Amino acid sequence: MKDLMYGSPASLFSGKARAFLDWKGVDYIEIAPNLEIRNEVIVPAVGRMIIPVMKLGDGTILQDTSLIIDHYEAAIGGPSVFPETPRQHFAARLLECFGDEWLVIPAMHYRWNYNEEWIYGEFGRSVAPDAPADQQVAAGKMVGQAFKGFVPMLGIKEATIPGIEASYEALLADLDAHFAAHPFLFGTRPSIGDYGLIGPLYAHLYRDPESGKIMERLAPRVADWVRRMIDPAEPLPGDFLPDDEVPVTLQPILRRMMAEHLPFLIETARMLGEWHAKNPDTELPRGLGMAPFTIEGVAGEGAARTFSLWMLQRALDYRDALDRDDRAACDELLRSVGGEALIDFTMPVRLAYENHTLTVASD
């Protein structure tokens, strides 16, 4: 029996998983989760409605995209999206965290402030594919309103929108310059960093029509990269750059992560430490309250999400397991892009993702 992916074209993380599965050459079937699948398959298996969800041929359920990618990397082998050299590997994991956890802000802004009516139709066709058009729109609004409710929680408000748009447009310019020299982040093979970026940059910012026009106009090479990512010419092609090179054209993207995302992550970690000291035996919440951020000089605050720290922890665990010289090379990379705060940073508690749930790791 083929593996199944329950996902949707409009879903940010479905876009990440699908692009990887297609590049890796996985033999799978994608199924849009209608109401029946949501209620009878996904919620009983995972405990909540979320996509993408992989159901393997033996019945095993995989939920998070990072774990889906880990599974197929181990099961299939061959060329990997994880570079073998330390600086490239560490940088790629950082960029996965940046894409997954920070670029959700522009992704959600442009979807809900530029494409709202269109996305209701998309959601409706996904959850009620056989229903009349008016019922699809009604169903789409029911689904969409839940997602729209996350917009202010992410810090997307009238006061912050100028900073969000300025940051996104600057990121597009930096990526466009990079893709003028390289087809992917680290050479001719996509890395885990590419897959972190493709979720928001494809499913929301390229595929949604008004956002897509902005990308095509401001950064046509980024749009070309999106098309390479979602429609690979063949499974498993390409190579990473030799000599563990992190291209100089990636430095502005990494600097943006360190300037915007890293302070927010560190504040979230501080909040986690305080929360855990007061609640050592309590189930870990998805959010710890609101934390401040600054984006292109504009101050705001957004939900301090514990999952973001798990993604950061994955990157730091890789670096911390390296030998002295390789770790020193990664630390020097951090210094070169303004990431000194990560060199001696430690998580206040270790996190684990078990049974589709983020928890404080047991000792």
- What digits encode the pLDDT tens for the residues 85-118? 999 999 999 999 999 999 999 999 999 999 999 9
pTM above 0.85, yes or no: yes
Instruction: Please report, as a single letter, which amino acid is at residue 81.
Output: V
Hunting for tokens 């046509």 — which residue is that? Answer: 220
- 33 vs 320, more confident: 320
Report the pLDDT averaged over residues 316-331: 98
pLDDT top residue among 354 and 1: 354
- pLDDT tens digit sequence for 161-211: 999 999 999 999 999 999 999 999 999 999 999 999 999 999 999 999 999
* 233-250 residue pLDDT tens: 887 789 999 999 999 999
Neighbours of 283 (CB within 10 A): 9
- Domains recognised in the chain with CATH numbers: 3-76 (3.40.30.10), 87-114+153-246 (1.20.1050.10), 249-360 (no CATH)
Report whether 11 contacts 38 (CB < 8 A): no
Residue 324 has φ and ψ, to the nearest 5°, of -60, -45
Residue 301 to residue 153: CA distance in whole angstroms: 8
**pLDDT tens-digit map of 290-304:** 999 999 999 999 999
pLDDT of residue 128: 73
Mean pLDDT of 312-328: 98
Enumerate the β-bridge partners of residue 353: 358
Q: What is the pLDDT of residues 264-292, one digit of tens each?
A: 999 999 999 999 999 998 999 999 999 99
| The pLDDT of residue 138 | 81
Percent of the chain with pLDDT over 90: 86
Tokens of residue 110, six digits = 């442009």
CA distance linking residue 306 with residue 161, whole number of Å: 24
pLDDT tens readout for residues 335-347? 999 999 999 999 9
pLDDT score of 363 more than 70 = no
Give residue 139's pLDDT: 79
Confidence (pLDDT) at 10: 93
Q: What is the mean pLDDT of residues 123-138?
A: 77
Structure tokens, 257: 């992560």
Instruction: Write down the residue that tokens 């790791």 correspond to.
Output: 361
Question: What does the pLDDT look like over 34-76, one tens digit per residue?
Answer: 888 889 999 999 999 999 999 999 999 999 999 999 999 999 9
- Could you tell me which of 267, 272, 291, 290 has the C-alpha nearest to residue 282? 272
User: Considering only CA atoms, which of 260, 263, 244 is closest in space to residue 332?
Assistant: 244
Residues 211 and 111: beta-carbon distance below 8 Å: yes
> Given this model, what pLDDT does residue 72 score?
97
Residues 6+ positions from 276 with CB-CB distance below 8 Å: 348, 349, 360
